[in-house]
Amino acid sequence: MEKMITYFGQQAKVACDEKCNKAWGLNTRPRIENPDNEDDYVFFADNELGEAPIDPGTYEGGHAKPQVETEKMNKWCVRECERCKISRPGEYNKPIKLRDFSQRVYNIQRGGEKN
């Protein structure tokens, strides 16, 4: 799913894979952290986790994780959902590549990988 929005006063495109049942949120998705670098971690793949909580306990601008179709691509999705990506300023005409949670997802690029 893709949608055009106004984000901080600018046009932006947001995209997601619509797998809300697997969306934990950036701050609550289970991960393995590097004990030597608190900013380095890897998210578990979908097949390593069960279903995500219906309400992971995080909110953005009064919006929670969508519960019904009409709530999709709300503020929670754009700012908290790990499955959603937003275009860079002025680049909303370019394709958005979503993270692939069929495998573990590193937050720091490793040897040619792209997040």
Per-residue model confidence (pLDDT) at position 110: 66
Band of pLDDT at residue 15, cut at 50, 70 and 90: very high
Is 42 within 8 Å of 95 (Cβ atoms)?
no
Q: Is residue 92 part of a domain?
A: yes
Query: Would you tell me how many other CB atoms lie within 10 Å of the CB of residue 54?
Result: 10
The whole-angstrom separation of Cα 44 and Cα 59 is 22
d(CA 2, CA 95): 10
Residue 55, domain member (yes or no)? yes
Q: In this structure, is residue 64 part of a structural domain?
A: yes
Q: Is the pLDDT of residue 115 over 90?
A: no
- Mean pLDDT, residues 70-95: 92
The domain containing residue 70 runs over which residues? 2-106
Specify the number of domains making up the chain.
1
Could you tell me if residue 12 is inside a domain?
yes
Q: Is residue 76 part of a domain?
A: yes
Whole-angstrom distance, CA of residue 46 vs CA of residue 52: 9
